[in-house]
Amino acid sequence: MNFASFSDFISMGGHGLYVWLCYGVSLVVFLLIAIVPVEQRKSVIRQLAQVQRRQESRKKEGGSEDGNEP
């Protein structure tokens, strides 16, 4: 451990604001990078499932096979 106490660690020899600002913003950006594709996947599955259901029901009615795809 490079620091004598926890408050030393937080203050970073007077540079605490700069150091923690960098690490804080980076943490937020990293989390965003990781979460966005997970949410994106949910919405992609939802939309594609909707299209597929529409196509299935149209098929049953005897309409054209390839519905209105976006």
Q: Which is nearer to other proteins, 20 or 63 (CB)?
A: 20
The number of CA neighbours under 13 Å toward the Cβ of 15 is 5
Residue 57 main-chain phi, psi, to 5 deg: -65, -35
Binding of residue 57 to other proteins (CB under 8 A) = no
Which member of 4, 7, 38, 68 binds other proteins (CB under 8 A)? 38
Cβ neighbours for 10, distance < 8 A, ≥ 6 positions apart: 16, 20
Residues that bind other proteins (CB under 8 A): 1-3, 9, 12-16, 18-19, 21-23, 25-26, 29-30, 32-34, 36-38, 40-41, 44-46, 48-49, 51-52, 69
